[in-house]
Structure 1
Amino acid sequence: MIRKFILPLFLLFSIVSFAQNGSASPYSFFGVGDVKFKGTHEISAMGGVAILPDSIHINLQNPASYASIKLSTFTIGGTFNATKFNSNTANEKAQRSSLDYLAVALPMKKFGLSFGLIPYSTVGYKVKTEDVANNISKQYTGDGGLNKAFLGLGYQITPRLSIGTELAYNFGRIETNNIRYLLTAQKNGSQETNVSEMSGLTINFGAMYNAKVNKNTNFYSAITFTPQSNLSSNNQRDIFSIRYVDDFTSIPIDYLDTQTSKTTIKLPSKYSFGVGLGQSKKWLVGSEVTFQGSNTFSNRLSVANNVKYENAVKYSLGGFYIPNYNSFTSYFKKVTYRGGFRYENTGLVINDESIKDYAFTGGVGLPLGGTFSNLNLGVEIGRRGTAKANLVEENYVNVMISLSLNDKWFVKRKYD
C-alpha cells in the first residue's frame, strides 16, 4: 500500500519544498496579505464550485460536507506559481511554491470530523523605486502571513440534508520594511521595520441539500456563513539609520525610535450560495456566488491614503466528468476531468481602481490503483489587477498538485 503512494508524494513535495513564501505580489501589502486559500485543488480546478457532498474528498469550504465522508481521508496540496508583472514603467517575472493545506477527515456514522492546518494568507513582495531628481532610492519588502488551524464537525440530518460548523484559530506574523537611502557612494539612509503578531478565532457554518430530479439527475445546493470576527494584533515599529549594502539588505547604524501598540483587525463577514445538477460518480455542472463585507482593517501600523475597501464578490462556474469510474478496460475512463471559471472583485480599491481577479481552471483526478485514493493535478490561468492608474497587472499560472488518501481506520479485529 505504501509503495503506491511514493511517486505521488515525491511529486508533491518536490513542488512545495522549494519555498514557503507563496506570494510575490505587491497587493499582498494590504490587509492580512494575499489570501491564497481558495479551496482544495479538486474544487479549485472547477472554478471554486464547492456544492458536492463528496465521500472520498474533503471539502474544506463547507463543514456540512464532513458528514458525507465514508473513509478516513488525508489530503495535502501544494502549488507552483509563475507570475508576470506588468506596469507602465517595467515588466518583471517571479516564481513561488507553497504548501496550501493539510487536513484529515474521519467518518463517525452520521457525523464527520475534520481537522487540519491551512496557510490562509501570505505576504511577499519586493518593490524598488528611484527618485533621480532628489537623488533618493526607496525599497519596500514584506513577508509572513496568516495561518489557520481548524476543527470542524458535520452532521447528516437526513440522507439529503447535512449541516456543519467549524472553529478556527488564526495566527501569524507579518514583517514589512521601508528603506530610503541617498544615491551616493556612502548610500546612507533610514529604515522603518513594522512587525505584527496576530491571533484570533473565526467560526464557519454550512449546510448542504440534494434531491432527485429524475432517475439519472440530482439537484445539489450548498450555503455557508462566516460572521465577522476580530484578530488581535501586537505591533512594533523600529526606526533606525542604515547604510545600504545591496539586494534589499542594509546594515543598521543607530536606532532612532521604537513604538509598540495593540490593535484590532476586523475580518469581514462572508456567505456563499451554490446550486448545480449532476449524476453521482458521473458528472456535475454547478455555480456558486460568494459575498464578503467591506474590509475595515488597515495595514497594522501603516495607513495608505490611496487605498479603500468595498464589498467583495466572487462568481464560480464549473464541474467534472467521469467517463466510467468502474471501468476494467481503460484507466483513462476512470479519470475525473474537471474545468471551470471564476471571476472576483477582491474588494480592494487602489487609486480609485477596483482590483479584480479572474481565471480559467482545469484539472484531472488520477486514481491510484486498487484504492479510492487519487492524485489530483490542476492549473489556473488568470489575471489580477490593472496597469492603469500607476498599478500592476499580474498574469499568472498556478500549477496545483494534491493527494487524497483514503482507508479504513479504527477497524475492530475479528481475530487475535
Structure 2
Amino acid sequence: MSRYIARITTILTLLATLTLIPTALSAQSNSTESPYSRFGLGRLDQQAPHALRGMGGLTSAIRDNMIINPANPASYTAVDSMTFLFDFGLSMGMHMLTESNKRDARMVGNFDYATALIPLGRHFAASTGILPYSTVGYRYGTREPVPGVKGHYSAIAFKGEGNLQEAYLGFAWKPLPYWSLGVNASYLFGNLQHERRITFDIKESQNPTFFEYLRIRSLGVRIGMQGMIPLPTEGHQISLGLTYEPKLPMWSRQLLLQTESVTGQSTHIISADTISSKSLFARPHVASAGFAYTIANKLIVGADVKYSRWGEALSATKSQEYQGVDQWQVALGMSWIPNDRSSHYGRRIAYRAGLHGENAYLRIPNSLGGYNAYYQLGGNLGLGLPLVDKRSHVDVTLGYSYLLPSSRTGLAEHYLTLGVALRFNEAWFKPIKLD
C-alpha cells in the first residue's frame, strides 16, 4: 500500500510542478500572429504530443508504451508497469499572412506542453500534465479618413495576446486483456487581452483606446475507450479508439475599459465595466473515433475523425462579430521503424508522416457585410530519435498548415512550424540487480 501512496504523491507533486511551467513562460508565449485569433477564444491549439503530431495528429486509437497520449486517456495502460514517462515539447516557426498582393511574415514560438505518466500496477496507470487550449496573438492596423474633416486621417491599431491552458489528471484501467478505459479530469484557465487604439492626426484631438481583459476558468472531463484486436500474425494488431467530452460551462470575467488621451498629456479613464458570466462561453460536446493498424515496434498506420459542437457552445454569445459553427477534423498518419534493435542508428529512428484537415470553429465577418468560413489543411513530417539509453527519445516534427478562407476577400495564412520534444523514459520501479 505504501508503494501506491508514494506513486500517487509523485503524481500530485508533478502536477503542481507542471502547472508552474507555463505560468513562468506565459510572458513569452507567442504561438500565433493571426488576426483571426481576435475572435472567440482565439486560435485552438493541438493537444497531441510531438510524437503524434508528426503522424498528422493521430490520437484516438494510438497505444504506444513509449508515448503519452492524453487525447485518449485509455491509452495510459499501454505503458510497461515498471516504467515512468515524461514528455516536454517546444515549438517555433514562421507565420506568413497573404491578402491580395500584400504579404507579412512573422516569427512565432512557444512552450507547448509537459506531461508525465506513471503505472499504478499491472492494469492501472495515471497521467498528469499541462496542455495548450487556445492562443490569442495579433498585431495589425488600418488607416481611415476622418468623417467630415477633409485631408485628415485616423490610424486604428489592433493588438491581442494571451492563452488558455489546461491542467489535467487522468487514470486508466484495463479490465480485460484487449480493452482499456480511461478518464481525464481537467481545469482550464488563462487570460486573453484585446486592445483597439484610435489615433487622429489632428492637433489636440481626443484619442480613445478600448481594452478588453477576459479571464476564463472551467472544469472539463474526457472519457476514452480503446479496444485491441490481435491478428493471426504475431505482433500485428488493430486498435479502435473512442473519446467523448460533455458540454460544460466556462466561467468568464470581462473587464471593459475605455481611456482617452491627448498627445503629450496624461490618459484619462472614460468608462470601466466588469461583467461576470457562466453563459458567454462553454466547452463543446466533443466526440472522436479512430483506428490504427500496428506491427509491434515497427509500424503504425491510422486515421482519426473528431467532431466538436461549437455552434451550440457559442450560441449564447449572440455576437455580431463572429458566429460559432460545428467543427470537423480528420487526420491520416503513419510511423515506421526499420529495425529497433539494429546496431545502425538510422534504422532505429522512427520515421513519421501525416496529413490533417479541419474547418474553423468560427465564421468571421468580411468587408462585404457577410461572414467568411475558413478551412485549414496541412502535412507533417517527423523523426523519433533514440538517445543513448535506447528508451528515451527526441521527437522532431516539421509541419506546414495552410488556412484557406471561403471567400477571396479573406486573409490566407501559412504556418511553417518546427517542434522539438524530449520523451524521457525511466525504469523507476525495476529492482537493481547486482552480480
**Contact 1:210/1:220 (8 A) holds in 2:** yes
Q: Is the 8 A contact 1:344 1:357 kept in 2?
A: yes
Distance 2:43 2:85 in 1: 28
Q: SS of the residue aligned with 1:43?
A: helix
Structure 1, unpaired ranges of 5+: 1-15, 246-250
1:96 to 108, 114, 121: 108
Q: Please state if 1:37 is matched with 2:46.
A: yes
Displacement of 1:234 in angstroms is 1.2
Aligned: 1:165 with 2:183: yes
Show CA shifts across 1:24-70 (max 9, x none): 11111122211122410111110111222111110121100111122
Summarize the Cα distance change of 1:297–1:270 in structure 2 as closer, same or farther, 3 Å threshold: closer
Could you tell which deviates more after superposition, 268-277 or 17-26? 17-26
Whether the aligned pair in 1 keeps the contact of 2:215 and 2:252 (CA below 8 Å) is yes
AA partner of residue 303 (structure 2): S
Aligned-partner SS, 1:388: coil
Q: Is the 8 A contact 1:263 1:300 kept in 2?
A: no
For 1:89 and 1:209, the matched residues in 2 are separated by 51
- 1:276 maps to 292
Once the two structures are superposed, residues 289-335 of structure 1 have per-residue CA deviations (whole angstroms, 9 ceiling, x without a partner) of 0001034566999x75252122100010001111001112x101000
Residues 1:319 and 2:334 aligned together: yes
Of the three residues 123, 131, 134, the one matched with 1:121 is: 134
Matched with 2:72 is 62
Aligned partner of 1:3 in structure 2 is none
Give a deviation string over 1:132-159, Cα, whole Å, max 9, x none.
3642221111111111110000111222
- 2:351 is matched with 337
The 3 A distance-change label for structure 1 pair 243 and 283 is farther
Q: CA, structure 1 residues 304+358, in 2 after alignment: closer, same or farther (shift >3 Å)?
A: same
TM-score (norm 1): 0.89
Tell me, yes or no, if the aligned pair for 1:149 and 1:170 is still in contact at 8 Å.
Answer: yes
Name stretches of at least 5 consecutive residues in structure 2 with no aligned partner. 1-24, 148-152, 365-369
Q: Residue type of the partner of 2:72?
A: N
Find the aligned partners of 1:72 and 1:353 in 2 and give their Cα distance: 46
Map 1:65-80; keep pairs closer than 5 Å: 65-70=75-80, 71-80=83-92
Structure 2 contact 324–361 (Cα < 8 Å) conserved: yes
Tell me the SS of whatever aligns to 1:65: helix
Q: 1:103-114 residue pairs with structure 2 within 5 A?
A: 103-109=115-121, 110-114=123-127
Amino acid at match of 2:78: S
Q: Larger % of strand: which?
A: 1
- Pick closer, same or farther for the CA change 1:18–1:282 going to 2, 3 Å: farther
SS in 2 for 1:145: strand
Residue identity matched to 2:353: G
Q: Do the aligned residues in 1 keep the contact of 2:336 with 2:351 (CA within 8 Å)?
A: yes
Aligned position for 2:273: 259
Partner AA of 1:267 in structure 2: R
Quote the residue 2:173 is aligned against.
155
Q: Deviations over 1:233-252 (max 9, x none)?
A: 1111111102469xxxxx85
Does 1:46 pair with 2:55? yes
Q: 1:125 to 1:244 in 2, by over 3 A?
A: farther
CA shift in 2, pair 1:362/1:212, >3 Å: same
Worse overlay, 350-359 or 193-202: 350-359
Distance 1:258 1:227 in 2: 35
- Counterpart contact for 1:387–1:393, Cα < 8 Å: no
Whether the 8 Å CA contact 1:85–1:92 is kept in 2: the answer is yes
- The AA in structure 1 aligned to 2:349 is V
Q: Hey, what's the Cα distance between the residues in 2 that align with 1:25 and 1:157? A: 45
What does residue 237 of structure 1 align with? 256
Counterpart code for 2:177: P
Q: Distance in 1 between matches of 2:188 and 2:260?
A: 34
Counterpart contact for 2:315–2:324, Cα < 8 Å? no
Change (3 A) 1:244 1:201: farther
Q: Residue type matched to 1:374 in 2? A: H
Number of aligned residue pairs? 394
Once residues 253 and 163 of structure 1 are traced to their aligned partners in structure 2, the CA distance between those partners, rounded to angstroms, is: 57
1:336-377 superposed Cα distances (whole Å, 9 cap, x missing partner): 000010010122212432211110111000000123100000
Q: Give the match for residue 10 of structure 2.
A: none
Q: Which residue number corresponds to residue 94 of structure 2?
A: 82
Show the counterpart of 1:184: 202
How far did residue 76 of structure 1 move?
0.3
Q: RMSD of aligned C-alpha atoms?
A: 2.4
| Aligned mates of 2:385, 2:432 — CA distance in 1 | 32
Give the 3-state SS of the residue equivalent to 1:28 in structure 2: helix
Q: Give the TM-score of the pair, scaled to structure 2.
A: 0.85
Aligned mates of 1:189, 1:299 — CA distance in 2? 34
Q: C-alpha distance in 2, partners of 1:170/1:233?
A: 11
